[in-house]
Amino acid sequence: MATSSKIVSLEQIKALVGAAQSAGKSVVLCHGCFDIVHPGHVRHLQHAAKLGDHLLVTISGDSIVDKGTGRPLIPQELRAENLAALDCVDWVVVNSQPTATGLLGLIQPDVFVKGREYEHNRDPRFQEEREVVDSYGGRVVFSSGDVVFSSTALINVLEQSTDPVHLRLRQLIDQQRIDPDSISRLLESFQGKRVVVVGETIIDTYVMCDRPAMASEGPIMTLRPIEYRSFDGGAAIVAKHLAAMGAKPTLITALPNSPEAEALRQRLTAAGVDTQWIEQPGKIIQKQRFNVGSTKVMKLDLGEPITLDATGQSTLLAMAEAAAEQSEAVIITDFGQGLFSAASMTELCLLLRLCTDFLAGDVSGRRSNLLSMKQMDLICPSELEMREALHDYDEGMTAVVWRLLHQTESKSAIITLGSEGLIAFKRTAGASASIDDWKTRLAAEHIPALVAHAIDPLGCGDALLAAATLTRIVGGDLTLAATVGAIAASAQSQQLGNAVIGTVDLRKGIRRLCEAQLTYSTQPQAEVVSLPRDQLHLAHS
């Protein structure tokens, strides 16, 4: 009999059992969860099949399995398929009731088989089942018990032997009470939040090239462009992420008076970004990356750095202040392209500190001004950017982060570590200003990487910054913000160029995170696949 035809509904099985018994055939029933079908289960079912003409197996539905967090591991559809694939099994039914009592009274099998461990068991649920079978003249038989396994014990052993990455992810899920429903409510709360983004706008262009060759005139690599792909980058992509996540962002930047800049403004408007700008001479700064496949072989920075005179700086400050007064948060992004000097960055931060509830920032490039960001609620540099800013390459991470928070007078930081994930740091309650207090005054939470290999790390930090900021301003704590930010970064890392990351990507990411122990699909011919460690890493820029 085909596997699919063995899986039947409650109405169908009543008719099938009735027809079999009318024809003088006996029906045997086994009931259980059958989350992992192990040798003990197989022996139990084979023994039961020998006690009658037809073997019916009923399984507990997902909604009524009460065996702890994350159980059942296998959804009811696939558990039913597993059992139906056994030759000794004739029919499989999913039971939506807590025990087999109701089914026994409805179907009235000739034999009800339980495991040997129930022979002297006084469990009231089993006693009820036994009374029902006795009431219509059926028999209760216990299996041979020659091979005994416990699915729960096996699963516990597997979880205890899980590698540290899986264990840490499970801790995060439990600690933060993360599940698709709670994250959906979180994402819904992003809607309409007003966030100002201040920073340089960049065009990131990917020059896709044919296979490189060696030039005939010397040891020079020759590249032949075959395709150009351009993406809005810098502060513009942070604003577009925010809009795609449901917020109402305002971008304050510098742009030239050119058709290219006008086209950019139209794209931002179409994406839901309100753009305000001061005029800069020249062209929009462009960064060209020459790729062979997904491998970057060369980068060119095109365009002159932005140079603002005193009037331009004052105008920028006034625009940012006016927008911040109408917002829930401000994000400052410094890509080292000249929009900010060290002095103007500090002035901007201190000014905005007075008129917004949440101030976040990030930097990129060696000419950025990380240490000039002051009184931030959240800063999100990479470890290398932080160490370069402090000229400290030798001290332990926690000590360096404390110095960063101390010098910037900031409350918290999310430090990205490339393939090792990220660490969220915050000052603990009562932390003093003493530089020596880092040993006891700084709390840290590590978020493991979520994907094995980054197709392109460009823009991971921008996606993280947008998602983490929104999470914080709607009431999420730093660890949850770092986790949601890591999910956004993982989605970004799997695409070439600055793709826009929105709520759909975050929902998919959180489902993947919650199903990290086991992933499955209910599509026909689907496979059950255990996720190995190398599929659970996230690269951050």
pLDDT value for 517:
47
Task: Round to whole Å and give the CA distance between 233 and 249.
Answer: 15
Task: Round to whole Å and give the CA distance between 442 and 440.
Answer: 6
pLDDT value for 477:
92
Which residue's entry shows tokens 């997904």? Answer: 294
CATH of 3-160, one of 3.40.50.620, 3.40.50.300, 3.10.20.600, 1.10.10.10: 3.40.50.620
Quick check: helix, strand or coil at residue 47?
A: helix
Task: Round to whole Å and give the CA distance between 472 and 175.
Answer: 17
Task: Round to whole Å and give the CA distance between 252 and 370.
Answer: 19
What does DSSP assign to residue 60? Answer: E
Query: How close are the terminal C-alpha atoms of the chain, in Å?
Result: 54
Task: Round to whole Å and give the CA distance between 249 and 239.
Answer: 6
pLDDT value for 26:
96
pLDDT value for 414:
97
Residues of the chain with pLDDT under 70: 1-2, 66-71, 144-167, 429-440, 515-541
- Residue 183: closest CA among 169, 193, 173: 173
Whether cis (ω within 30° of 0) applies to the bond prior to 219 is no
Per-residue 3-state assignment (H helix, E strand, C coil) for 191-208:
CCCEEEEEECEEEEEEEE
Q: Where are the alpha helices (DSSP H) in 108-214?
A: 124-135, 151-160, 164-176, 180-189
Question: Alpha carbon of 63 to those of 66, 184, 284, 430, 510: distances in Å?
Answer: 8, 20, 56, 45, 21
Q: Pairing relation of β-strands 329-334 and 194-199?
A: parallel
Cβ pair 245, 466 in contact under 8 A: yes
Instruction: Count CB atoms within 10 A of the CB of residue 460.
Output: 28
Over residues 442-460, the pLDDT tens digits come to 889 998 888 878 889 899 9
**Which tokens belong to 200?**
């340089």
Q: Residues of CATH 3.40.50.620 domain(s) within the chain?
A: 3-160
Identity at 347, one-letter amino acid code: E
Cβ pair 107, 10 in contact under 8 A: no
**In the structure, how many helices (H) and strands (E) does the chain have?**
19, 22
Show Cβ contacts of residue 234 under 8 Å, excluding neighbours closer than 6 positions: 199, 200, 201, 202, 253, 285, 333, 335, 337
Task: Round to whole Å and give the CA distance between 415 and 111.
Answer: 63
Q: Which fold has domain 192-367?
A: UDP-N-acetylmuramoyl-L-alanine:D-glutamate ligase (3.40.1190)
**Which tokens belong to 157?**
């052993």
Task: Round to whole Å and give the CA distance between 262 and 257.
Answer: 8
Beta bridge partners of 519: 529
Sheet of 225-234, strands arranged across: 225-234, 201-209, 285-292, 295-302
pLDDT value for 154:
58
Beta bridge partners of 64: none
Q: Residues of CATH 3.40.1190.20 domain(s) within the chain?
A: 192-367
